[in-house]
Amino acid sequence: MNAEYGRPTAAELVAAAAEFLEGDVREATGGQVNFHARVAANALRIVERELLAPVESGVRAGLAGLGFADEAGLAAAIRAGELDGRDDELVSCMRALVRHRLAVAHPGYDDE
C-alpha cells in the first residue's frame, strides 16, 4: 500500500465510496439506480483490491523467466511470435497472471 500522500490512502477513499454506495445509496433507492449503485460499488471494490494487492512473486518470476519486466512487453512478444516454441513456460506464466487478476477482480473464483 502506498501511503506516500498520507491518510486517507487511495484505497481507504475508494473503500469509503464503495461503502456509501453499498449502504446509504442502495438502501435509499430501488430499480435501476440501486442496480447501478451496486455495479459502481463492485467496480470500486476491484480498484480497492488492485491498490492493496501486491503483484505476486509467481507473476514477477514468470515474467522474468521469459525475459520481460511487465505484461506489456510479454504481450508484444507474443504478438510478434517471439515466444513460439516456449509453450510450457508461457502457459505457466499466463496461468499465474490470470490467477492474480482473478484474485483481484473476482475473489474466491479459484475456490469455486
**pLDDT tens, N- to C-terminus, the chain (112 residues):** 456 788 999 999 999 999 999 999 999 999 999 999 999 999 999 999 988 887 777 788 889 999 999 999 999 999 999 999 999 999 999 998 998 888 888 887 766 5
Which residue matches cell numbers 465510496?
17
Task: Please work out, in degrees rounded to the nearest 5, the angle formed at the alpha carbon of residue 43 by the alpha carbons of 69 and 39.
Answer: 155
Helix orientation angle between 87-105 and 57-66, rounded to the nearest 10 degrees? 150
The overall pTM is greater than 0.85: no
Cβ contacts of residue 82 below 8 Å, gap of 6+?
none
Contact 108, 45 (CB under 8 A): no
Q: How many CB atoms lie within 10 A of CB 83?
A: 17
Contact 56, 75 (CB under 8 A): no
Q: How far is residue 112's CA from residue 110's CA, in Å, rounded to a whole number? A: 6
